[in-house]
Structure 1
């Protein structure tokens, strides 16, 4: 289905009227200037993780790039699309259903191409996949695999600094990774995706994310995913 063209003059992004967005997309040509163009697009449409009216209107253009109908880097299109769709409500998901379906397919292809030495790229793309599929929580929180965050003890409510990725040994709490054969749901799926794609490092991080931690204040062992889900 062809999506009706957006009236960009009536939309806004981080810096005001969004009538500059079509011109930015038109400047993408696979050349050396593309990096700056993508920087400008990210800054306007996803400023510090915030999305705007114009962000959703950009989904058809992002789907065109991801699918090769328009010039531009498909990985950038997928990553931007994933962040935008993660914020979309049911109405917006319905409005852009065909673009989301297309972006989902391209994301699967991108995941198979991520080099083993780019674990963060794999995680971000996996998070995008969950966003396109409408998976709650982990479509925005999977990136905690390599980010520092605070967890609240379920018993004494003390806040503890948690690190799960390559710096997990610096976490304030003692971590207890889940056994791979105990992982179910999203945890099991991402673990298996990572292993199948040769990203054993990501798979190991997943066992920490879906494992437990000991509160350094009272010693209580609490579930990390339950804490994140709130």
Structure 2
């Protein structure tokens, strides 16, 4: 299935019929207007994190951009496709399997190019990579690396404020980062990716998110990541 064969008028996005989508993609030319075009595409296809049937149909176009076959910013294509892939069901993943494979390679390449002073760009691209690889939970929640959220104590069920990222001290919760050699699964994977890319800040955040916190109510020390996945 190629995007040229799509009847966009029969698909919908956040604002109704999606027949304007091919025209938006066609306006991407590497010029000054591209930023506005991407804003319009994000608003239509991924409005506030919601995806639509037109969003899935856009995956071949995004793969073409990511692979350099048509104009457009590779990073934007990878990020948008990652959000879409994170919501895809088994049938959609099978339908766009070849495109997702291409996008996986593009995401891996993008991760090596992120400046060290853009840690959240690295996090979002890593989250996209996990989405292409169909990793549950973290393909949507890896961005918690630098967000404030509430984790539930498994012992007393009290909610504890956690901020693993840049402002880790602001919640006042006692955090116990994992040692890198203790990390397993997704935590170990992202820590290694960050370390190898020189993203030391992200690697530090990973040790906190995949470490433990002390419940301020009952003083139980619990795994933060398990609270997220549960």
Q: TM-score, normalising length from structure 1? A: 0.98
CA distance in 2, matches of 1:145, 1:183: 15
Give yes or no for contact 1:172–1:216 (8 Å, CA) kept in 2. Answer: no
Establish whether residue 173 from structure 1 lines up as the match of residue 156 from structure 2.
no
CA distance in 1, matches of 2:121, 2:216: 32
How far is the alpha carbon of 1:153 from its aligned partner?
1.0
Aligned-residue Cα RMSD (Å) equals 1.0
Tell me the SS of whatever aligns to 1:169. coil
Q: What corresponds to 1:104 in structure 2?
A: 104
Structure 2, unaligned stretches of length 5 or more?
none
CA distance in 1, matches of 2:167, 2:53: 37
Tell me the SS of whatever aligns to 2:94. helix
CA distance in 2, matches of 1:91, 1:174: 43
Deviations 1:150-171, CA, capped at 9 Å, x for gaps? 1111111111111010100112
Deviations 1:161-207, CA, capped at 9 Å, x for gaps? 11010100112421001011101111111101111110011000000
Q: What corresponds to 1:119 in structure 2?
A: 119
CA distance in 1, matches of 2:170, 2:219: 17
Q: What corresponds to 1:219 in structure 2?
A: 219
Structure 1, unaligned stretches of length 5 or more?
none
Q: TM-score, normalising length from structure 2? A: 0.98
CA distance in 1, matches of 2:105, 2:95: 18
What is the number of residues matched between the two proteins?
230
Q: What corresponds to 1:63 in structure 2?
A: 63
CA distance in 2, matches of 1:90, 1:113: 31
How far is the alpha carbon of 1:3 from its aligned partner?
5.8
Tell me the SS of whatever aligns to 2:131. helix
Alignment of 1:61-210 (within 5 A): 61-210=61-210
Give yes or no for contact 2:3–2:57 (8 Å, CA) kept in 1. Answer: no
Deviations 1:54-101, CA, capped at 9 Å, x for gaps? 000000110011111110100000000000000001100000001000
Establish whether residue 26 from structure 1 lines up as the match of residue 22 from structure 2.
no
Tell me the SS of whatever aligns to 1:19. coil
Tell me which stretches of 4 or more aligned residues in structure 1 moved more than 3 Å: 1-4
